[in-house]
Structure 1
Amino acid sequence: MKSEIRPSQLTELRERVLKQNYRKYLRKVHITRLRALTDATVSFDFPVTAIVGPNGGGKTTVIGAAACAYKSILPRRFFAKSGKFDNSMADWQAEYEILDRDFPQGVIQRTASFKSVRWRRDAPDRVVLVFGVSRTVPANERPELQRCASPSFSVPEINIKNLSVDTVHAVGKILGKDISSFSQMSIDEQGRVSLLAGVNGVGESYSEFHFGAGESSVIRMIAEIEQAPDYSMALIEEIENGLHPVATRKMVDYLIDVASRKKIQVIFTTHSEGALEALPDYAVWAALDGRVQQGKLDIEALRSITGNVDSRLVLYVEDDFARDWVETCLRYYGNVALDAIQVHKMNGSSTAVQVQRARMEDPSISVESFCYLDGDAAEDEDENSHIVKLPGSSPELHVFNTVLDAAEELAPKIALALHLPTSQQAEVLRISKEVAMSNRDPHLLFVQIGDRLGFIAESIARSAFLSIWAQHVPSEVESIVEKIGEFLPVSGPRAPLLS
């Protein structure tokens, strides 16, 4: 399930942040010290920001630090002190760069610090919504709703309200369910406790006690966000809790859409790769072992950054194709202990370089690492930092053209590698040449080859050309692998590569 967010919408939101076209917006938080995080700066370069990382890495700490920027959230909501058992809280502090048009200067600096057994801050006003992990607790396990679990329960009609049109529309897209007949009823005098009610396909009513936990949490979150004023902030812990992976992706699409409509700012934590799909790289931060890192990183890559790996060598590359290319080289090179090497894509050259440099500067990490950049990356090779480049201006184009240059000779092998009979080698050759002439984006080369040959999967087309390339130019395989030289884990005597 692909995101439905258009690139132009992402660009528009990014421009809005750059031009400071907000009444209220948290631009940056610098954590001097909070829990495990020290001297960590997170900039909110996009109005929807994801915080990823392993358990205990600091995700909730970042969310809590953001919440403490504003008066409406008490610090103890995230950073409570439990007597003598929390004496580590001394000198905790976070500093903020805040855009707030209620102040003449527009951008203000504020600090929240824990001094003399209490929090001290001069926080501005802003509506901040917090959705913790407890939102997915079923209704029958929530103490505040127990008064409703009675055959005699009822509320006055005036306390029952239909859900807003925007809420109904958003929930429908996320859950694929029509909730236009659903309602929300206040069950306390202050209106702080409510119960949802729905109607099934045959017109029978049912209460939230019979909702799915994920269904209930989505409806409540969206209803609250839609009711909030423009320029509010929403903080969501573990956005995927109680949701199907498809619903998680659609939830993030909704947050991007509502950020556009209502100019709200959203920060959420997640362990879900799917939750990051719609977001640009600069909208994702990783929190791990007291550090933060901007850019999309999967959990395995995060563990490698901290040195928490079982392998003897870690390699960072820019994207999926570069990862497949390097792994192909390692397989064809011979005598490589493949199970002792991890290869991680970093979704861009700048992230790959930042991670590699940070690793090299960390004396606590003993596992060696290298960074392979694409040939057209803006960053230069750096021998001291173990940063090297792959051949050619574009990895896909280099592999494709190398094979295509010898296609008359290699056509039977290409056909077999594509899971086609050799009788179709002429067709493979013809289509490959046509794609070479018409292609405008090298990243789509193998998608186009697969489609033209009868809906062959991109992964099969890519693997076919990589394997034929490795067999045809063993000297290039050697030049790529030998860049990591003495650090290459070996498993025995090496047989020579043959073309």
Structure 2
Amino acid sequence: MNPNSDKDKIYSYPSLTVAEKERSYPLFFEGLKFVKFRHISNMDLPFETPITVISGSNKCGKTSTLLAIACSHFNFKSRNRTSGVPERTRWGDVMRFTSNDSQTEDWCYEVRYREGRREQMKRGYRKSASGKWGGVAKKESQIGTPHRDGDAGGRTVVLIDLHRMVPARHSPNSVYSKARRVRLHDVSDGLKEYLSYVFEEEYEVGKMIDYSDASIYGYQHGKYSSFNTATGEDVLTSMLLDIVEAPNNSLILIEEIEEGLHPKIQRRLMDVVFHESVKCHKQFIITTHSASILASVRPESRLFIDKVGDNNVVVKNISINEALSRMDSESYPLVNVYVEDSISRKIVEKAIGILVASKPKINKMINIVEVGSASQTYDYFKTKQKIYQKERINCGYACILDGDMRDKKNHDGQLQYPAQDLLFFHLSNYSPERMLVEACSNVHKNTTLEYHLAHSNPHMLFEKMVELGLASSYSDAFDKCWNSLMATEVGANYLNELNEFLYHCCQYFAPQI
């Protein structure tokens, strides 16, 4: 197994020719659009690489997405929970209506897929009046429906849902009684190989019995069974067995792949997913809330479903930090903006406060970091620039220096901080304190303050305003000066430029925002 090689092959898929795509993945599910389905309206999910990871908050439509894809295929089977026998599974099996369930309008969705070189689109629906499914949601029109005797029924679809999380110790007593004295049955060598890879030790596993829609396993030559194993161990075994036993060209749908698994195990499991996809031409569509899973795929394989008012919006190529920030009440910044001191921070915070009115989530994307001197701040910025691509979970970088650093030269006469992308200078060729107090002084004339503007250390100016009775506190002095500056055309233009810079920084690291 060569994870890097497997990933290169997966990500080369979009740039392949039509003939090359057909050879690599003869069958490919290309997209799903919910026109109106349950609580979801006008949501389009494109699947552009053989492995797609979907994230988003609860109730955004992730499970509905997996079910819609699965139930649109003729060859979607799941084990009967009574007999344990695999049976064709349809919408009526996974979505059951009681007296407490209602449908007040027609539901409709569209699927896009490729068979060989032929691109197709079909529509599925459920009528509210009759409660009948139709189109690709019904047997006669599903993807892969046989039209002649002997047809296989199209590609196999495997849905690995959260039912896998139920531990064997919660199974009925009859299952335990049956399993007590049975011998182990061999399982695929591929399963053993993958378990050994994920756990980084030689692994032996065998199947004891199947019951309902689950199985009981024995591990390490009969040393222990599913009744006494760690839950994650059984979850992983069950998931890997479903993946390995799926025939070539299968479509495998996995709900919340990270459940019950340590982050390191999650990453190594994703290596297996990549390898199995390349080796056996299997397509994977996976949902997750895990940073480790998101970090295991490149941005082009990530989709994020966001709830904006009553609409569901699909964000492509989302960064890990942006996805986590959108899912969590705490922010995982997209960009660290390095500034020199608290005054620079306050200015940037003022700008973000204005910007958030038109870009509501931008305050969660930006983290302001006070560093110290201009040289230290700039060095932080350049260091982050160098190591950004090497970080596991990337956080962007930007730098804002005081205006008096704009034209500063080094001993060779060269600009010490040359203009470049993601570097911004505050207004004027002075420190921010002098720039702000000067704006206030132009409105509220005070000869003593004007003297200190010309001759004193700029860092003393706000305190001097308090001493002169021009402000009640340091904070009040800043606010009075800021308001004076914003009342001028120069100040308004400066604020616009700063806001454009901050938004550009976010777009630089997340072009889709």
* TM-score after normalising by structure 2: 0.61
Q: Report matched runs for 1:439-478 at 5 Å.
A: 445=386, 466=399, 472-473=405-406, 476-478=424-426
Amino acid in the other structure paired with 2:195: V
1:328–1:470 contact (8 Å) kept in structure 2:
no
1:169 aligns with 2:159: no
* Deviation sequence 1:1-34 (CA, Å, 0-9, x none): xx75665333344445964322221111111112
- The within-5 A match list for 1:209-358 is 209-289=227-307, 290-298=312-320, 323-325=335-337, 328=339, 333-336=344-347, 338=349, 341=352
Q: In structure 2, the residue corresponding to 1:88 is in which secondary structure? A: coil
Give the RMSD, CA atoms, in angstroms: 4.6
> Judging changes above 3 Å, is the alpha-carbon distance between structure 1 residues 332 and 245 closer, same or farther for their aligned structure 2 residues?
farther
8 Å contact from structure 1 (residues 196, 207) kept in 2: yes
Asked if the contact 2:249/2:282 (under 8 Å) is kept, the reply is yes
Distance in 2 between the 1:129 and 1:458 partners? 31
Report the counterpart of residue 54 of structure 1 in structure 2. 57
Q: Mean Cα displacement is larger for which, 235-244 or 36-45?
A: 36-45
Q: 1:469 to 1:162 in 2, by over 3 A?
A: farther
Deviation larger for 330-339 or 263-272? 330-339
- What's the secondary structure of 2:424's corresponding residue? helix
The match for 1:385 is none
CA distance 1:87–1:169, shift in 2 (3 Å)? same
How much does 1:117 deviate? 0.7
For residues 117 and 476 of structure 1, do their structure 2 counterparts lie closer, same or farther at Cα, with a shift above 3 Å needed? closer
Q: Residues 177 and 37 (structure 1 numbering): CA distance in 2 closer, same or farther, change over 3 Å?
A: farther
Supply the distance in 2 between the matched residues of 1:12 and 1:186 (Cα, whole angstroms). 41
SS for the counterpart of 1:248 is helix
| Structure 1: tracts of 5 or more residues without a match | 344-355, 357-365, 373-409, 420-431, 437-441, 452-456, 483-489
3-state SS of 2:479 partner: coil
Instruction: Tell me, in whole angstroms, the C-alpha distance in 2 between the residues paired with 1:211 and 1:90.
Output: 47
Q: Work out the number of aligned pairs and report it.
A: 373
**Structure 2 CA distance for aligned equivalents of residues 275 and 253 of structure 1:** 10
Q: Kindly state the Cα deviation for residue 100 of structure 1 after the two structures are TM-superposed.
A: 2.2
Structure with larger Rg: 2
The answer to whether residue 70 in structure 2 is matched with residue 67 in structure 1 is: yes
Taking the TM superposition and a 5 Å limit, the aligned residue runs for 1:39-188 are 39-73=42-76, 74-76=89-91, 80-88=95-103, 90-101=105-116, 106-115=118-127, 116-120=130-134, 121=138, 122-123=141-142, 124=144, 125-143=154-172, 146-150=173-177, 153-155=180-182, 157=183, 160-179=184-203, 181-187=204-210
Instruction: Supply the distance in 1 between the matched residues of 2:425 and 2:326 (Cα, whole angstroms).
Output: 25
CA distance in 2, matches of 1:285, 1:260: 21
In the alignment, residue 237 of structure 2 is paired with which amino acid?
I
Q: Say if 1:13 and 1:260, in contact at 8 Å, map to a contact too.
A: no
The 3-state SS of whatever aligns with 1:218 is helix
CA change 1:195–1:70 in 2 (3 A) is same
Tell whether the 8 Å contact from 1:287 to 1:293 is kept in structure 2 after alignment. yes
Segment drifting more, 128-137 vs 238-247: 128-137
Deviation at 1:132, TM superposition (A): 1.0
Cα distance, 1:226 vs structure 2: 1.0
1:80 positional shift: 1.3
- Indicate conservation of the 8 Å contact 1:47/1:266, yes or no: yes
Alpha carbons of 1:5 and 1:92: their partners in 2 closer, same or farther (altered >3 Å)?
A: farther
Q: What is the DSSP-based 3-state SS (H/G/I as helix, E as strand, rest coil) of the residue aligned with 1:52?
A: strand
* CA displacement at 1:197 relative to structure 2: 0.2
In structure 2, C-alpha distance between the alignment counterparts of 1:341 and 1:310, rounded to whole Å = 17
**Alpha carbons of structure 1 residues 79 and 335: separation in structure 2 relative to 1, 3 Å:** same
Residue 68 of structure 1, CA deviation: 2.2
Q: Which position in structure 1 is the counterpart of 2:217?
A: 196
Change (3 A) 1:446 1:273: closer
Q: Report if aligned partners of 1:17, 1:45 keep a CA contact under 8 Å in 2.
A: no
- Using the TM superposition, give the Cα deviation of residue 242 of structure 1 relative to its aligned residue in structure 2, in angstroms: 0.3
Deviation for aligned residue 1:95: 1.0
1:185 partner letter? M
Q: Is the 8 A contact 2:159 2:253 kept in 1?
A: yes
Please state whether the residue corresponding to 2:29 is helix, strand or coil.
Answer: strand
Write the distance in 1 (CA, Å) between the matches of 2:6 and 2:274. Answer: 10
- Listed as ranges, the gaps of 5+ residues in structure 2 are 77-88, 145-153, 363-371, 408-422, 433-475, 486-513
